[in-house]
Amino acid sequence: MTILDRIVADKKIEVAQRKSIFPVAYWEASPLFERTTKSLAARLKKSASGIIAEHKRRSPSKQNINSSLSVSEVAKGYENAGVCGMSVLTDGKYFGGSLDDLNLARAVTKFPLLRKEFIVDEYQLIEAKAHGADVVLLIAAVLSREEIRQFSALAKSLGLDVLLEVHNLEELQKSIMPGLDMLGVNNRNLKTFEVSLDTSRSLADKIPTDFVKVSESGISDVAAIKDLMTFGYQGFLVGENFMKTNDPGQAAGDFIKQLEA
């Protein structure tokens, strides 16, 4: 069983438990549920840098990245740095995150927030909206084409942007459909956790121009982003590069200044 298989199996158990405690009606009554969302895709199209900065405490491949900073501090720092949006890890067991992190980030910022999660049930989209998310991540490696269609349709009905993540050509081909705003190429193989930017380069011309192209993971320098821009990418998800510092917001600001110089 791969790491991804274990995560998905655990996630299905977790979601079933949450559904038994908090019915959909509970989340639909949340004050944030009626909030008007902001489009990350629209911001990426207008941005010169396209940075989506991430809050991530740890991961299966790196047990501790940065657990000392509050989500609120990181979120405010990123927004002040001028990033396009923030990705918030909400998985607890493997990444040390929670839905509370999304709430805390939403309370202090106005820019788009992405719920980065292993979504296996429509219920998680309702949770995302109730906790202030503007964008949800769907991972092609763990969903069927029909699930991608159903989940993206519900997300759009809730006013959420959809970032669909792929790792190879097969996943990309099964995933292309209306209802997606952004197509992300994850440079990290979720089965082995090895990273290569060649994944983004090789899939770039296979992604229709209808979608905003986003490159995810393994991006640690300005040169890599400038190279990926020549392949048509407009969004760049950067996490560990900022989170491993004492001041992620400052690191993101300095990075953007170099990128736009």
Q: Rounded distance, CA 1 to CA 258, Å?
A: 42
Q: What length is written for the chain?
A: 261
When computed from its CA atoms, the radius of gyration of the chain, rounded to whole angstroms, is: 17
pLDDT tens by residue, 172-202: 999 999 999 999 999 987 777 788 999 999 9
Closest CA to 226 of 256, 185, 181: 256
Tokens of 209: 């121009």
Q: What pairing do the DSSP bridges indicate for beta strands 85-89 and 51-55?
A: parallel
The pLDDT assigned to 62 comes to 67
Do residues 52 and 40 make contact, with C-beta atoms less than 8 angstroms apart?
Answer: yes
Class of domain 3-260: alpha beta
**Greatest CA separation found in the chain?**
52
Q: Which of 49, 186, 187, 200 is catalytic?
A: 186
200 is catalytic: no
The pLDDT assigned to 188 comes to 86
pLDDT tens by residue, 73-127: 999 999 999 999 999 999 999 999 999 999 999 999 999 999 999 999 999 999 9
Q: Which of 54, 117, 171, 240 is catalytic?
A: 54
State yes or no: pLDDT of 72 exceeds 80. Answer: yes
Tokens of 204: 């770039």
pLDDT tens by residue, 125-166: 999 999 999 999 999 999 999 999 999 999 999 999 999 999
The pLDDT assigned to 237 comes to 97
217 is catalytic: yes
Tokens of 102: 């999304």
